[in-house]
């Protein structure tokens, strides 16, 4: 299993909407590096759902349930999307300020490439962030 972080502006698509919709395509990504990251996602991978702009915090965890396919919102077929489903909210949202204050997360793509909307998360960073937010895999 690989780990990721996906960003959404809550006024465009929020965690609550993800939960209400169940499975949702992650569309609208128009950055080439983010596209490569989407294309690398595999079914069963986990991703942090991050509210950008307003809240700037990890607010939930989603699972990739459908691997990359052409983004239906794109004008050309060069862009991809994946389908994700909500697993559970982050018990305590982890803010960007908290992430930046944690020295062990200085290499996290969210910190190094702050504009990237889909980025990988190492297993070590995943565990640190889960611990910070009180997340445990559902049993």
Residue 82 sits in a domain of what CATH number? 3.10.590.10
CA distances from 138 to 89, 90, 107 (A): 11, 12, 28
Q: Which domain does 39 fall in, by range?
A: 3-133
Residue 138 lies in a domain: no
Radius of gyration for the alpha carbons in the chain, expressed in angstroms and rounded: 14
Domain assignment of residue 31, yes or no = yes
Tell me the residue ranges of DSSP E strands in 12-79. 23-26, 46-51, 57-70
Q: Is 139 inside any structural domain?
A: no
User: Residue 92 falls within a domain, yes or no?
Assistant: yes
Count of domains for the chain: 1
Q: Which residues, listed in sequence order, are joined to residue 118 by a DSSP beta bridge?
A: 6
Encode the chain (139 residues) as per-residue pLDDT tens digits.
999 999 999 999 999 999 999 999 999 999 999 999 999 999 999 999 999 988 999 999 999 999 999 999 999 989 999 999 999 999 999 999 999 999 999 999 999 998 899 999 999 999 999 999 999 988 7
């Amino acid at each position: 299993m690989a780990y990721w972080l996906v960003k959404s502006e809550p006024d465009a698509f929020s965690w609550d909407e993800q939960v209400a919709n169940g499975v949702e395509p992650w569309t609208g990504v128009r950055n080439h590096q983010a596209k490569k990251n989407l294309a690398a996602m595999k079914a069963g991978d986990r991703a942090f759902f991050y509210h950008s702009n307003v809240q700037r915090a990890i607010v939930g965890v989603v699972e990739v349930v459908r691997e990359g396919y052409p983004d239906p919102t794109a004008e050309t077929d060069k862009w991809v999307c994946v389908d994700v489903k909500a697993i559970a909210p982050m018990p305590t949202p982890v803010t960007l300020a908290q992430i930046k204050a944690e020295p062990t997360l200085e290499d996290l793509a969210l910190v190094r490439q702050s504009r990237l909307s889909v980025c990988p998360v190492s297993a070590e960073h995943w565990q640190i962030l889960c611990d910070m937010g009180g997340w445990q895999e559902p049993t």
